[in-house]
Every structure is written in C-alpha cells, then in structure tokens.
Structure 1
Amino acid sequence: MAALQDKDETKASSLADVSTGNGSSTPPADLHAPSDEKQLSEEPEPPARPDYLHGWKWALCIAAIVSSTFLYALDGTIIAVLQPQLIEEFGHIEDLAWLSVAFLLCATATNMGWGQFYGNFNAKWFYLFHIFVFEVGSAICGAAPSMNVLILGRVIAGIGGAGQYIGCMTIISTTTTMSERPVYISLTGFGWGLGTVLGPVIGGAFAQSSAGWRWSFYINLLIGAIYAPAWFFLIPNDRDPRPGTSLRARAAEIDYAGIVLQSAALVSLFLALNLGGVTLPWDSGRIIAMFVVAGVLAIALGVQQVFNLLTTEARRLLPVQFFKDRTVSILLACTAAASALINIPTFMIPLFFQLTRGDSPLDAGVRLLPFIVCMIVFFIVNGAFMSKLGYYQPWFLVGGCIVIVAASLMAFTVDQYTSVSRVYGFTVLIGAGTGMFAQAGFAIAQAVVPVDKIAPAIGIIGLAQFFGTTLFLALANSILLNDSQSKIQSILPYLSVDEIHQAILGTRSDIVKSLDSDLQSRVLAAIVGAIGKTYILVLVGGAIAAILSLAMRREKLFQGGASAPVAAMG
C-alpha cells in the first residue's frame, strides 16, 4: 500500500515534469539499467478522475484539452500560405522570416521553463492563463495594422501556445491512469497532425474569401469561446502537484537562472541567424557580437546546469545526465534534424506553387496535403510496426535514405517548369521517409530509460524538436532571401534593395509583371532556385538520421506487454 500511495502522489507531476528535467538526485551510471519502480505497474491503479468526470463530461473535457494542441499546431502552419498577402499589405519583406520564427523561437525559449511551473503550481489555472495569452496573441495578429505588430502577436501566441501544449500534457497525466494514458496522449498527436494539415488550407481559404486573412487568426478566438465552458467547469481543480508546500517554497525551487540563460542564449542565436545577410551583413559587428553572446551564454548555461549553481540536481532545468547516454543523445540529434524534414517543405511547397503556377493561397495550401497526409500515415505505420517488431534502428536508416534521395531530387532537378506530378512524387517520398522516424524518439526514450527518468527524457527530446524547428526554419528563410536577392541583383542591377525584396514575390509583384517574358522567367528561376537550395537542409536532416542510425544499438524494444509507441507532437 505504501508503494501505491507513493505512486498516486507522484503521478500528478509525471508529465508536468516533461519539460523540467526533474529526475532522481543521483542519476545511475547506465540509463538503460532497469528500475525497481517498474514493479509498481503490476499493482492495481487508483482512480485518476473525480466522480463527476465520466461519460459525456469526460469526452467533452478531453476534446476541449486536445483542442488547444490543435490550435497551437494550426497557428504554426497557417502562416505558410499567407506570406504574399501580408507582404503586399505591410511590405517589409526583410522581416518575412519573423512571421514563423518569432512564433517558434518563443515556444522554444520558454518550453522547459513552463514545465517547471506546471510541476509546482495548480495546472488548471496555469493552463487557462496560457490559453488566455495565446488568444491575446491571436487577437493582436488579426487586428495588426503593421508588420511589427503582427510579429509581436506571433511572439505572444508562441509563448502562450507552448504553455498550453505543456498544460495539455500535464492535465492528461493527472486525470488518467498509467495504463490508459498512452491512448489519450495519442489524441494530442492526432490533434497536432490535424492542425498541421488544416493550417495551410484554412489560411488559404480565409485569404481567398471575402472575410480576409485576418480571420485566419480570429478563428482561434471562436474555437476558444466554444470550448471555454469545458475548460472552466470540467477540468478538475483539485490536482495539486505539491500538496502542503507553500507558494513561496514552490516559487523558490524554480531554476530561474537556467531559464534566463537558456532563453537568452536561444534568442541571441536566432537573432543572429535571422538578421544575418538580410538586415545586416554576415561580417557585421552586431551579427558577430550576437553569435559571441550566444556562445558565451550557452557555456554559462552548461556550467550552471552541470554544477547546479543557484539550483539543485533534482530541480535543474536540463537533465544533463542524458548527454552521457548514447541512445538518447542520438535520438536528440535525429529529432532535431527531423524538424527540417517537416517544416521546410511545409513552408516551401505552397510558395513554390504560388510562384510557378499562380495558385491562390487556398490552392497552394491544398497542394501541401499529399506531403503532410503521407507523413502522418507513416507516423501511424511506424508506431504500429515498431511496437510489434521491436526494432527501431532500421526505421531511421531506411527513412533517412529515402529522404536523402527525395530531397536531392527536389534540390537539384526541380525548376519552374517541372511537372506537378513529379513535385508531388518527390514531396510524398520526403513525407514517407520523415514519417518513419520523426516522432519515434519519444517512444524509444520511454523504453530505454528507467521509469523515473521517462519524464525528463521526453522533455529534452521535445526541446530538441523545438530547437530544430526554429533553427532550420531560420536557416531556410535566410537562404531563400539571401540567395534570391543576390541573383535578382545580377539580373536587374538597377533595382534598389527594397525593390528586389518585392521582386522575390515573383509573379505577384508589379515589378516582375512589368518585365518582359525573358526577364520574368529569369527572375522566377532565381527564386525557385533559392527554394531548391533550402531542400539541401532537408537532405542534411535525412543524412544525419541515416548516418547516426549506424551507431544505434541493434536492440529489441516494446516487447513483453510494453505499451505501443505514442507520437508525442512538439
């Protein structure tokens, strides 16, 4: 009974600690060593939900919670087809990257920190706070009178979105038993996938309709209003992760130093990547200074975490012990690399078709569906067969090789005259290869570490996913703008930098439309060529997965009644 009591008390914070890096005070030398805590799973579990939360009320509660993950994913991809309209209305194409990167950067910088707060305070009200922040950001985006205000809205929505995603995972962990939890966590993956698929379609539909692009953001307010009663009245309010601990004591145990150092290091790095070559030259003193600051802060963060300065080993932000484990370290690198495979095509496919086929935003969004649907299908295939067969290394090797081939074809053979069927074929292959391993790291981590290390393992892999997404999108946007500008400048040397930035919009730009057919074709070829170069990053991501898979253990997991892998979307 004592074991059951301990289990019940710690269950409330099992996924709340996903982003905190919490673990036992003395990590074992071998993370693959079995844990005595696994014996707890053989004993009956106590009820996880209050008496009132059953039947239709429970179904509505879960739908409301998962909706926040859907909205977060929707906001991540909805911007992909809106960029030409936004630039035409506001200008400032040099700030184009920030429409996506600002959202992701803020999510990456705050992800681990929010997890610590969820692990110490009432999850319901902290979750509602983040939903409010996300909705405020969405309202600002919808009403934005300028590009700068729109970027500000994306910043606020990114902060709130990351917090509400962690809150979704936390509340599910405190209202489900361990045996049923994978089923409900998988619903968050479905919500994420659905939001990712529908983002470009919904964005394109609004941009093309009389409602206008602003409703692509206002839709978040409408969905939020529908689910607000369920959020307020159905989510339990009695799930205290640390009963009996004063608010002052809880606040004192947050790793503020780690949060500040991590956030500052990431902001400095991504500022340099986004401003370099577009707003400022790469050899500019300010760009160099930002890289130096990012490096110094990263070193300071490492020292602070390793030596537990201003924190404790149990409460430090990052679970440093995982960097010593071969399997987890490889999973971190592959998960970060997979972000390039997912996000670069998501943004570049609609842009390619808008430029080369004159597609409307809606049509361009629909063109993205073969890639994303194929990828989600292979997420499911990977989860089912990896669980049944047990081996995980071949998925990374085969998937990585498929991506290498398909990304090479996209990067080096596609131009503005390439047939639609060929482009579909290449992007479907990228989607299939990506789906084979992009989300597998979350499931593998849960199987190769002891039970008491599962939460921080998932947390740090989630951080790798956020980091990879932000990094690769920043690099892709930099390549697109820098390479396009350089080539167009050689074709049209009499144009100013601002006019060249407008010309990057291709056939939607009045500057390009005023040119004769030969010059139009050359300018369009320059932009499509720059889009092709962004797929070199996709090729690199596939190569990382394939090469590192050769260093993976040839072990068999998920056997003996283990739960099937769950796609935890980040």
Structure 2
Amino acid sequence: MEKDAQSQSETDKPRSDLEPPSPTKETAAPAPPAPATVNQAKGWRFWAVFPALCVTTLLAAVESTVVATAMPFIANEIGAGDSYVWIVNVYLLTSCAFLPLIGQLANIWGRRYLMIAVICLFALGSGIAGGSTNVAMMIAGRAIQGMGGGGVNLVIMLIVGDLVPLRERGKYMGAIFMFFTLGTAIGPFIGGAIVERSNWRWVFYLNLPIAGLALLLHILFLQVKFNRQGSLSEKLRRIDYIGNLILILSIVSVLIALSWGGARYPWASYQVLVPFILGFVGLAAFHFYEAAPWVKAPVLPERLFLRRTPAAALIIAFIDFMLLYWLIFFFPVYLQAVKGLSPIQSGVQFLPSSAISVFTGTASGFLLSKWGRYRPMHFASFVLMVIGLGLFSRFDKDTSKAEYIGIQVIFALGLGLLMTSNLPAVQADLPEADAGVSAAAFNFMRNYGAIWGVSIPAAIFNARCDAESWRVSDPALRAQLSGGKAYDFVTRYADAALNATSNVQGEIVEVYTRALRMTWQVSLAFALLGFLLVFVEKEISLRKTLDTEYGLKEKKKPGADVEAVPTSTEPKA
C-alpha cells in the first residue's frame, strides 16, 4: 500500500490525461469505522429530498444578490452613508467565516437537524433586516442571515454528496445549481421591482414564507442517518474552537480593511494597514495551527491544499465567485448610473445572465456525469470570462442594448460552465472520507471570493470616482460623488440630475464610465489568473461508487436498527 501511495504522489511525472484518484497520506480526524461501498436504489424517498433542496437553495441564492439593485435605495433610506458596503459584506463575511464550523457540526450531529437550524437562522435574520430602523440593526440582521445562508449552501452539497457517487454528482448538482443560478440572477430584478413598486422591507420579508416551505419539506422528507455514538462531551471535543476563532477574526480584520480602504480612510493610513496586516498574519497563524500535530480535527485540513488538483480547484472556486459578485454588484451600477435605467429596468436587463448561466450550469453537470472530464470545461469557462470582462471595459453611454446584452451572454456562458464542474475537481483526488471537509473548504473559498468580489471593485470604483470627480463642475454634486459616496450616489443622482444642466449630467456620467472601466480592467487580471490555474489541475477519473455513513435511512425491518451502517452491496476495492 505504501509503495502504491508513493507512486500516486503529486511529485510523480504525469501518467496519463485521465488519472485515477490518488490516496492521501494524511487521514481525516478520528471517526467511526468507514462504511461499506453503497449504490443505493433511487426510490421515491430519494427523489423526495431534491425538491426540498431546490427550494432551499433558491431561498439562499435570491437573498445573496437581491440587494444588488436595491442597495443604493436601501442605503439612502436608512442613512447608511459609507457603511453601505457592510450591508452586503457582513452577509458574505458570516456566510464564509462560519462555514468550516458548520461543516464540523454537520459531521457530528448529522445533516437533518443542522439543515433545520440554518434555515431558522436565515429566517430570523431576514425578519431583523426587514424590520431595521437604522444601519446597525440592518447589519446585525444581515449577519445572522449570512450564517444561515452559508450553512444552507454547504449542507445541500453535503446531502447530495451523501446520496450519489462523485461521477453522478454533476447532474444532480446541475439541477440544484439551476435553482441557485436562477436565484442569484433574478435577485437583482426582484430587488429592483420591490424598491420601485413596493416597500423595500419586502426585500427581506419575502424570505419568510419560502423559509417556512423549505422547513416543512425537510421535516417531512429529509430522513437521513448519522452516527449517534459518543457522548455530548466527546462530540464537543471534536470541534476545532481555536482554529475557528483564529479564522473568523482574521477574515473580519481583512474585511474591515477592504471596506475602509479608499472609502473612509486612505489606503496608506494606519486604520487600513493595521487590520490588513493583522488579518493576513492571522491567516498565516491559522495555517500553521491547523498543521500542528496536536490538532486532531482541523477545521480546514492542510492536506486539502497540499495536492495540486484540489488546491488549484479551490483557488478557481475563489476566483469564480469573486468574478460572479463583481458582475452582480457593478453591472447594475453601469445600467443605472451610465445608461440611466431605473432599478427595475436594470434588473430586467440583467436577466440574460440568469437564463444563459442556468442553461450552461445544468448542461455542464450532465456533461460531466456522462463524459467525466472537468478540465476542458474549466478552460472554456475562463476563455469566455476573459473575453466578456475585456469587452465590459469598453462600455460607455453610447453602448447599444444589443451589445451589452450580448457581452453579458458571453460572460454568463463562462460562469455556468464552472458552476457544477468545480467541486468534482476538488474532490476527485481526495478520498471519500474527505467529502465533508472538502465541501466545506469549497464553500468557504467561494464565499471568501464573494467578499473580495464586492470589496475590491468597491475600493477601485470609489477611488477612481474620487480621482475623476474634478470633471464635475457643480461643487455640490462633486462633493456628493467623492469621499467614498459614489455607490450610494447612484440612486440620489437620478433626483439630483433633474435639477442639473445637461452638461453636468454628462460630466457625472463620464466620471462613472471611467471609474467602471478601471473596475472591469482589474477583474480581467483575475480571470487570466484563473485560466492559468487550469493548467495546474490534472484530469482525474471520478469515482462511480459511494462510501458514506450519512445516506438515507432505510426502512426499519423487524429486529433491525434504523441507524445501522448499511451492508455492502458491492465488493470493496
């Protein structure tokens, strides 16, 4: 076995274009004996789980982007000022920072009860955000929402991984990602429609009936096993408290720096540099702590990042969501500030992204299950995104509707191809025992990418608006456009422009056009980095069998324990 493991080492020369998964030297944290290989029959109880998963993923997906077009309006209504970015970022922060902890809890207490808990958290946060009377209350509600929303996405992936083998996972995740992509894409439209035609509070209250439906479906149909052995104190000792704390504090520190830099304080100020340095030092300390021999159950095991294919695929996940949120939060700025569309109109113009990415995301999942090759889809994805982002930087007030919709389609095709082919690339070169921690790491990297995908373009956009604000001849409007208030000014500009001369209106549009051009040019560099990372990945064959202790509960037979580990239906390899 040792010799075989060495032959599969990452340091070996490439063996073939399509390689079998190689075992890892490290093992997961102490756990019950590995269950047998299972190919479960897909009866009605199997299919009844998926409608619940689809409704739940739609719930979290819509909320992650619904504030994109509504944000300028909401920020103005509650007087958020330059704190507006925290309404978005705190959701992304908590949905990212608590993911590794949620992954550990799912392995200890199972998927069913944790899914019910994160949906309840999400509903609670929605109610608080919807009832907000000030920016602090809004941020608190969004923080609770983020914990629930991030947990929902992770537990869904864990459940799918428990029910189907890696080779088949793509087509099932394709159906679920269809709802996820649809939700993220129609979110801006819904947000625009609500703030224009109704009370902005329904941006959040809308989640409550959907959460109720999701809860009902999971209570009825999500009947899955988990290991009940061990006392409560033994289970609590399996949680990596120190690792989770270091990670959460580090991410918070980095996000504070990203939110303040160029908006509230200059990038070179100590208010920005200190949290930046502390955050990155904390992330380095987290890495060394997780690799320490006394950490028996690391929250993000080092072995996930030591093999080149999982490591490259995890960084690709980071870049993928960074670029997704880059588009979601700054394409509406172009439509509203440069083209002069209303929030609801900008939401309508964003719909092509939803239709195309839904189609390609679903199709790529089925192709992956049939073909078993993810690298060609990753190459195609980044080629399309590079082209799309390069063309975005050419947008101005004279760009035709056909042009900006067509370029959206190019970019959306690239996004869709990655949606269902990325996680299998992470898990292909890892044992099935690492399915849970690798899914948690994958979701963590995506959500962490989303944080940077909002913060980096916001910093660039505000800095460029400051630098270009001299073009506005009206001193009052120039003051409203600078000092980190350019994003918030998008909504107020529509009212201010009514009293401005046509020359001043043109000057403001020019400032926004130039700021957005630089924003898109920087995003292009990240897309090119993603393209290069695909060369680092190896094409590894995807497993067609499943090892899990978290599958569906079997029908209780006389004298049999419902929670028993299933017997083998296939010979062990």
Tell me the TM-score normalized by structure 1: 0.83
Task: Give the aligned partner of residue 289 of structure 1.
Answer: 274
Distance apart, 1:491 and its partner CA: 2.7
One-letter amino acid matched to 2:78: F
Aligned length: 521
Question: Counterpart in 1 of 2:449?
Answer: 468
| Equivalent residue letter for 1:430 | F
Query: Equivalents in 1 of 2:475, 2:192: separation in Å?
Result: 34
* Aligned partners of 2:119 and 2:215 also within 8 Å: no
Q: Is the 8 A contact 2:177 2:361 kept in 1?
A: no
2:396 counterpart SS class: coil
Q: For 2:517 and 2:372, how far apart are their aligned partners in 1?
A: 37
Q: 1:246 aligns with which of 212, 215, 231?
A: 231
Q: 1:49-96 CA deviation, whole Å, 9 max, x = no partner?
A: xxxxx74x7766542343222111110010111023213312334122
CA 1:276–1:497: 2 relative to 1, 3 Å:
farther
SS at match of 1:281: coil
Deviates more, 1:152-161 or 1:425-434: 425-434
User: Which has the higher mean CA deviation after the structures are superposed, 281-290 or 196-205?
Assistant: 196-205
Question: Residue 513 of structure 1: CA displacement?
Answer: 3.3
Contact in 1 for aligned 2:172/2:365 (Cα 8 Å) = no
Equivalent residue letter for 1:367 = Q
2:217 to 215, 230, 233: 230
Selected match of 2:541 from 536, 553, 557: 557
Correspondence 1:376-387 to 2 at 5 A: 376-387=358-369
Contact 1:332 1:461 in 2 (8 A): yes
Distance 1:98-1:184 versus aligned 2 partners, 3 A rule: same
- Where structure 2 has 5 or more consecutive residues not aligned to the other structure, the ranges are 11-20, 28-33, 547-573
Which moves more between the two structures, 279-288 or 125-134? Answer: 125-134
What is the percent sequence identity of the aligned residues? 22
Question: Does 2:155 align with 1:155?
Answer: no
Distance verdict in 2 for CA 1:229–1:324, change over 3 Å: closer
- 2:186 aligned with 1:198: yes
The whole-number CA distance in structure 1 between the counterparts of 2:146 and 2:396 is 34
Residue of structure 1 equivalent to 2:498: 513
1:158 deviation in Å? Answer: 0.3
1:305–1:317 contact (8 Å) kept in structure 2? yes
Quote how far apart the aligned CAs of 1:446 are. 3.0
Tell me if the contact between 2:186 and 2:354 (Cα under 8 Å) persists in the aligned partners. Answer: no
Identify which of 22, 31, 52 aligns with 1:33: 22
Q: Which deviations, in whole Å up to 9, do the C-alpha atoms of 1:215-264 show, x marking residues without a partner? A: 1211111222334433444443x73x332211111001100011001111
Q: Is it true that 1:355 corresponds to 2:337 in the alignment?
A: yes
Separation (CA, whole Å) in 1 of partners of 2:105 and 2:164: 21
Q: Distance in 1 between matches of 2:474 and 2:270?
A: 27
Deviation at 1:410, TM superposition (A): 1.1
Amino acid at match of 1:218: Y
Q: Report the aligned-residue RMSD.
A: 3.2
Task: Note if 1:331 corresponds to 2:313.
Answer: yes
Please, which of 450, 455, 458 is the counterpart of residue 436 of structure 2?
455
Match of 1:137 among 115, 125, 129: 125
One of 74, 85, 88 as aligned partner of 1:86:
74
Write out aligned runs for 1:341-352 (5 A).
341-352=323-334
Which runs of no fewer than 5 residues in structure 1 stay unpaired?
Answer: 1-25, 49-53, 564-570
Distance 1:227 1:439 in 2: 23
Deviations, residues 367-413 of structure 1 (Å, cap 9, x unaligned)? 111123222322233333344444433333333233222211211x2
User: CA offsets, 1:180-226, max 9 Å, x none?
Assistant: 876654443233122112212222222222x3221121111122233
Query: CA separation of 1:184/1:208 partners in 2, compared to 1, >3 Å: closer, same or farther?
Result: same
How far apart, CA to CA, are the structure 1 residues paired with 2:58 and 2:401? 30
Q: Does the Cα contact within 8 Å between 1:111 and 1:162 map onto a contact in 2?
A: yes
Indicate the structure whose relative CO is greater, using CA pairs within 8 Å and at least 6 residues apart.
2
Quickly say closer, same or farther: Cα 1:506–1:490, change in 2 above 3 A: farther
Q: 1:426 aligns with which of 404, 407, 423?
A: 407
* Structure 2 partner of 1:445: 426
Match of 2:86 in 1: 98
In structure 2, distance between residues paired with 1:293 and 1:371? 38
- For residue 108 of structure 2, the aligned residue among 104, 114, 120 is 120
65-74 or 483-492, which moves further after superposition?
Answer: 483-492
Q: Which amino acid aligns with 1:150?
A: M
**Partner of 1:91: helix, strand, or coil?**
coil
TM-score, normalised by the number of residues in structure 2: 0.82
- The correspondence of residues 184-195 of structure 1 with structure 2, limited to 5 A, is 184-195=172-183
| Structure 1 residues 262-306: Cα deviation after superposition (integer angstroms, max 9, x where no partner) | 111111011101111111121221211101211221121111111
Q: Name the CA distance, whole Å, in 1 between partners of 2:129 and 2:156.
A: 23
Secondary structure, in 3 states, of the residue corresponding to 1:358?
coil
Residue matched to 1:219: 206
Once residues 176 and 419 of structure 2 are traced to their aligned partners in structure 1, the CA distance between those partners, rounded to angstroms, is 16
CA distance, structure 1, for counterparts of residue 371 and residue 164 of structure 2: 28
8 Å contact from structure 2 (residues 382, 527) kept in 1: yes
